[in-house]
Chain A
Amino acid sequence: MSHLFNHNGAPNTGYSQPPSIETAVKPSIPAGLVRRQQARWPRLSEPEMVRHYTWLSKRNFGIDTGFYPLGSCTMKHNPRVNEVIAQLPGIADIHPHQPEHHLQGLLSIYYEMQHMLEVCAGMDQVTLQPVAGAQGEFTAVRCIQEYFRLKGDTKRTKVIVPDSAHGTNPASAAMAGFEIVEIPSRVDGRIDLDALRAVADETTAAMMITNPNTLGLFEADISEASQIVHDAGGQMYYDGANFNAILGITSPGLMGFDAVHFNLHKTFSQPHGGGGPGSGPIGVKAHLAEFLPGPLADRRTPTAAEQSTAVDEFWYHWREPAHSIGKVQQWHGNAGAVIRCWAYYRRYGSGLTTMSEHAVLNANYLRHAIHKAAREEGVDHLFVDGAETDVAKHEFTLSLQPAKEQLGVSAMDVAKGLLDRGYMAPTVYFPLVVPECMMIEPTETESKDTLDTFAQHFAEVLKVDAETLHAAPTTTPVRRVDEVYAARNLCLRHPYDE
């Protein structure tokens, strides 16, 4: 084990700082505010620090390490040129309060990204401000809330979500002050229009839904669902978590949605960074556009004076929407993520359709390959599809309920068995509507060979005896971690005082 807090070298060991500026009078901190005791931080020289974090990195699994079929998270390859671009001083070393003529390049990229997302989603206006998907959801439902308030329609206090929705949907709507109405899915995992009809009324502000849904199935009844909600006077909100499946094939706009969020860290390859940063822009139809958080990037013909600093035939500037809900992040969103995703977009351009086709091709192929390998290994009786369907979209679910019943092997056991074979485990126990669920999303950046090999390993794990699987993993940096112990014996920081 390498422990940060075991290092206690000489003062100032980590990096050399030049001397401070000489002043006539020493800078003064008011007597009552002088720090009495320095932070009891460790002291590491640069080589010790580099070795510690390199050691830590070797105990972490990323897409670069191996196949990462984590359903719902779209763990695609992160092109490295995007990292080079994000470190250029023209993005890393600019301040959001600089005047517009200092930021023409940033503004033009913001404009281009807004436009691209508007085209792909079939929306009229995009804001890049929300910094994560959940914040995008919150922002969009806030816009819908203000839209109804301005119309004097104060009775719309409810948001409808299917029981298969991501947890962030109800959490975001509740944070904005809405009451949540959850409707059950049909047995095949799809939306129950009758259940929707039963709850959509004059108190409905919005319905939040993702399509393809969390089981990886396309909701063919989506236009009818939109119609039901619109007839009741509500708004349709599209959770863009699964947008990777449909770029250039269909769009939230075509399906009748009024608002949508994008997870740029999923669909447009902002690296997930071990849990963030993300970026969660939202797009809306024209009637909601003036409620968006500002500033938005806009453009016009440059004046004569502006022409010398313009980056193309336009002058780019910020614009505040007339009835803006205000801000959800203090600045202009996660600009660094937007730049990376711009570079990603430029690689595909109109070929984004091909990207989505391959995401869906790979998911279906892997589903097929897993079933085939399971048949060949004689373990196909141990799982079933999470939902019956001819084709899945970018991800699919399996239920390990038969394995649980027949062998006492859970989805979690299989997940841990896959870790032992060098894979990240699929998402387990989500969506909640599928018992012993495994949600698998390979993404378009995995080769056929990787998918074939994974399918074979998946089948082989199911052949392993229950006792061994209960004890898995055995080859990882640590073995199964005791989460109950962690919660009962809370140790949330280095014990400085002991």
Chain B
Amino acid sequence: MDFIIHPQGVVIPMVDQLPNLGREEEMLKAMGLQNIDDLFADIPDDVRFKGPLPLRPPQSEEEILSDARRLLGANIAMGSRTSFLGAGLYRNYIPASVFQLVTRGEFLTAYTPYQPEVSQGMLQAMWEFQSLISELVGLPIANLSLYDGSTAAAEALTCAVRVHNRKATQPNTVFVSALTPPDKMSVMENYCQGAEITIKTLEHNADGTLNLDSLKEAAGSCGVYLEQPNPLGVLDEGLTMTKEIIGEHTALIVGAQPVSLGMVEAPGHYGADIVVGEGQPLGSPVTAGGPLYGIFACSKPYLRLMPGRIVGRSIDVDGNEAYCLTLSTREQHIRRHRATSNICTNETLIALMGAMHMALLGPEGLHDLAYRNAAACQKAKEILVDTPGVRIVHNASHFNEFAIEIEGSAEACLAYLDGNGIIGGFDLGRWYPSITNQILITTTDQTTEQDIEALSAQLSMWTSHQGVSA
């Protein structure tokens, strides 16, 4: 290994990254300077660091990889256990070609396509992404991604207010499902407070479906946010009636799980004005919750007030097909403080993974992927309904998650399952503090019958430890 001793006495195994190490003198001399410090003569002494940064010494590539393997190896990967944890993030299989292609340097190391002539690849790929998402959710317009599902939902609320506030009888007011996970709600509150938007909540029935009487209160507000399936995994047919109840001057915003749309009706086909969602289940690993990509699609009245970047198909000076960013006058680099959003860097590369996964699936592949998710969920319900001490909470249709009630505390039960090698699901008490004994069970295409049998057996054991017999 090549080591360079820096004047400050630091040992640097990094000539591989800094090609001009050792050429400083030559370069400085050409500029008529003596030493590196001359380049910093404009920085006053009283704001200068004294001495080297108090950080660890540099490492070589091999040492870094070795440390990474040790530290990340100490994390428990979901794939190394039987896992039923989802609650907003879902680990479906991602075909190998997606990973192979997305690390091509032409995609990986590019930035925002400010020079369209040399960025046609990503521009076209994002235009295709917009086309795939638009068709998936049943709306004519989609942008090329926001940060994640939560920021997409939050930006949808502020967008709805921008569009509807003038005609609203409840101006600056939006209604959000009371089931919305608190972390997502918190993002919405942060995004809405600056525009002085009031967020009110919509109640749900005991079976998990939306209370349509509660929805009547939302008429005349700027927007309503609901999820399909909802955060408890329930597929709610009532959502097809919501647009009629709230009326044309209130935006219906639906948060959708994209894989479910292989079987479940596209929200745009039952009146949604804006569809948002966590794109991650298509094309992206869970990655501890980021990077992900937020889906944002809308109908035409929202186009000029929507957030995020959009690619349009155009022509070049020779009349040949060409792509470029368009409608940029909504954006911060032009509109500054009057922009529709402050977003600049987004999640393009992850959206590209999504597009690649969608391209491989095709319509039938998406249906099959959705069916495998749903079949695993159905199987889990069939087995757990007969498991001693376990009750399925909602007598409803589910896509790939459902809530169960168990004996004793959910937290203790999950710790017990963990001790037996099973990541048992999500403790719903973390979202809804009054609930202490419910677990959200998630299945994906990766769930096997053996996984479900193992969960059932351990839950059965758990129940017997609670002193209850079937």
A50 at the interface (CB under 8 A from B): yes
Alpha-carbon separation in the docked complex, A493 to B344 (Å)? 22
What's the minimum C-beta distance from A416 to chain B, rounded to whole angstroms?
Answer: 7
> Cβ of B449 and Cβ of A275 under 8 Å apart?
no
Residues of B16-63 whose CB lies within 8 A of A: 17-21, 23-24, 26-28, 30-31, 36, 38-44, 46-49, 52-61, 63
Most buried by B among A12, A29, A46, A172: A29
Q: Give 1 or 0 for each of A155-190: 1 = CB within 8 Å of chain B CB.
A: 000000000001110111111111010000000000
Q: Which of A22, A218, A480 contacts B117 (CB 8 A)?
A: A480
Q: Are A275 and B183 interface neighbours, CB within 8 A?
A: no
Nearest CB in chain B: distance from A410 CB, A:
14
Using known A-B contacts A33-B240, A88-B68, determine if residue A41 contacts B18 with beta carbons closer than 8 Å.
Answer: no
With A137-B342, A350-B10, A482-B314 already in contact, the answer to whether A180 and B59 are too (CB < 8 A) is: no
Asked if A406 CB lies within 8 Å of chain B CBs, one says: no
Does B244 interact with chain A (Cβ within 8 Å)?
Answer: no
When distances are taken between beta carbons in the complex, the residues of chain A under 8 Å from B103 are 83
**A335 and B289 form a contact (CB under 8 A):** yes
B224-268 interface with A by 8 A CB criterion: 228, 235, 237, 239-240, 261-266
Partner of B150, one of A134, A137, A168, A329: A329
| Contact indicator B39/A360 (Cβ below 8 Å) | yes
Contact A391 B361 (CB under 8 A): no
The reply to whether B263 and A14 form a contact with Cβ atoms under 8 Å apart is no
Contact between chains at A94 and B347 (CB < 8 Å): no
Is A276 an interface position by the 8 A CB rule? yes
In the complex the two chains form, what is the Cα distance from A107 to B289 in whole Å?
14
Contact A416 B117 (CB under 8 A): yes
Chain A, 90-110, CB within 8 A of any chain B CB: 90-99, 102-106, 108-109
A304 CB–B CB distance under 8 Å: no
The reply to whether A361 and B39 form a contact with Cβ atoms under 8 Å apart is yes
Q: Given A119-B54, A349-B56, A487-B312, is A60 in contact with B122 using a C-beta cutoff of 8 Å?
A: yes
Cβ–Cβ < 8 Å partners of A119 in chain B = 53-55
Say whether B360 contacts A44, CB under 8 Å.
yes
- Chain A, interface size category, equals 35 or more
- Residue B468 lies at the interface, judged by CB distance under 8 Å to chain A: no
Q: Quick one: CB contact mask for A24-47 with B, threshold 8 Å, 1 for yes?
A: 111111111111101111111010
Residue of A56, A83, A328, A334 near B187 (CB, 8 A) is A328
Pair B148/A41 contact, Cβ less than 8 Å: no
Q: A171 to B74, Cβ gap below 8 A? A: no
Chain B contacts of A350 at CB under 8 A? 10, 52-58
Q: CB distance A62 to B109 under 8 Å?
A: yes
Q: Complex Cα distance A17/B375, Å?
A: 14
**Docked-complex contact B72 and A58, CB < 8 angstroms:** no
Contact with A along B435-470 (1 / 0, CB 8 A): 000000000010111000000000000000000000
Q: Judge whether B358 is part of the interface by a CB distance below 8 angstroms.
A: yes
Taking a contact as CB atoms closer than 8 A, the residue among A168, A274, A494 that contacts B332 in the complex is: A168
Are B345 and A361 neighbours in the complex by a CB distance under 8 Å?
no
Instruction: Identify which of B100, B316, B348 contacts A275 (C-beta below 8 A).
Output: B348
Question: Which residue in chain A gives the minimum CB-CB distance to B327?
Answer: A487
B404 within 8 A of A: no
Return A261 CB to nearest CB of chain B, in Å.
12
Cβ-based interface call for B433 (8 A): no
Complex CA gap A416/B114 in Å reads 12
CA–CA, A390 to B33, complex, Å?
11
| Pairwise interchain contact A94-B75, C-beta atoms closer than 8 A | yes
Interface: A486 (CB within 8 A):
yes
Tally chain B residues at the interface, Cβ within 8 Å. Answer: 213
Q: Which of B68, B189, B362, B372 contacts A21 (CB 8 A)?
A: B372
Residues in chain B near residue A476, CB distance under 8 A: 117-118
A81 vs B63: C-alpha distance in the bound complex, in angstroms?
11
CB of A20 closer than 8 Å to a CB of B: yes
CB pair A23 B288 closer than 8 Å: no
Residues A93 and B91 in contact in the complex (CB < 8 Å), given A32-B237, A39-B366, A350-B10 = yes
Cα-based distance from A46 to B315 in the complex (angstroms)? 30
Q: How far, in angstroms, from A254 to B431 measured CA to CA in the complex?
A: 41
C-alpha spacing A43/B423, complex, angstroms: 36
Question: In the bound complex, do residue B72 and residue A27 qualify as a contact, i.e. CB atoms below 8 Å apart?
Answer: no
Chain A residues with CB under 8 A of B222: none
Would you call B366 and A330 a contact (CB within 8 A)? no
Q: How far, in whole Å, are A132 and B148 apart by their CA atoms in the complex?
A: 12
Interface flags for B326-367 (1: CB within 8 Å of A; 0: not) read 110001111111110111111111101000101111111111
**Interface membership of A348, Cβ < 8 A:** yes
Contacts of B71 in A (CB 8 A): 90, 105, 108-109, 311
Q: Mark A467-487, 1 if CB is under 8 A from B, else 0.
A: 000010100111111110111
Whether A25 contacts B362 by the Cβ 8 Å rule is: no
Bound Cα distance from A7 to B78, whole angstroms? 36
Chain B residues lying within 8 Å of A326, measured Cβ to Cβ, are 186-187, 189-190
- B97, B105, B418, B430: the one within 8 Å of A62 (CB): B105
Bound CA span A178–B336, Å: 13
Closest to A272 in B: B111
Query: Inside 8 A of A26's CB, which chain B residues have their CB?
Result: 375, 378
- In the complex, are the beta carbons of B17 and A78 less than 8 A apart? no
Instruction: Check if A327 is an interface residue, CB within 8 A of chain B.
Output: yes
B274 at the interface (CB under 8 A from A): no
A478 and B110 contact, CB distance less than 8 A = no
- The stretch among A378-386, A396-404, A440-448 that forms the contact with chain B is A440-448
B284 to chain A, nearest CB (A): 9
CB <8 Å contact, A368 and B316: no
Q: Mark B185-204, 1 if CB is under 8 A from A, else 0.
A: 01101110111100000000
Indicate if the CB atoms of B79 and A93 lie closer than 8 Å.
Answer: yes
In the complex, how many angstroms separate the beta carbon of A370 from the nearest chain B beta carbon?
Answer: 12
Chain B residues whose C-beta falls within 8 Å of the C-beta of A178 in the assembled complex: 194
Q: Decide if A349 touches B287 in the complex (CB within 8 Å).
A: no
CB distance from B156 to the nearest CB of A (A): 14
- Whether the pair A14, B360 counts as a contact (CB closer than 8 A) is yes
Nearest-CB distance from A424 to chain B (Å)?
7
* A277 contacts the other chain (CB 8 A): yes
Q: Which B residue's beta carbon lies closest to that of A63?
A: B109
Complex alpha-carbon distance, A491 and B314, angstroms = 8
A425 in the interface (beta carbon within 8 A): yes
Asked if A314 is an interface residue, CB under 8 A from chain B, the answer is no
- A448 B26 Cβ-Cβ under 8 A: yes
The chain A residue with its CB closest to the CB of B79 is: A93
**Taking A218-B42, A248-B53 as contacts, is the C-beta distance between A486 and B344 under 8 angstroms?**
no
Flag if A53 contacts B101 (CB, 8 Å). yes
Report if A95-B43 is in contact (Cβ < 8 Å); known contacts: A23-B378, A135-B147, A249-B48. Answer: no
A273 B360 Cβ-Cβ under 8 A: no
| Closest-CB distance, A249 to chain B (whole angstroms) | 6
Q: List 18 A-B contacts (CB under 8 A).
A: A4-B131, A11-B364, A38-B367, A91-B287, A97-B430, A171-B332, A174-B338, A254-B47, A271-B349, A274-B348, A335-B290, A358-B21, A365-B27, A391-B41, A478-B321, A481-B315, A486-B324, A496-B131
In the complex, besides A95-B288, A493-B140, 8 extra interface pairs with C-beta distance below 8 angstroms are: A15-B97, A62-B105, A171-B332, A273-B350, A361-B20, A364-B31, A490-B312, A493-B131
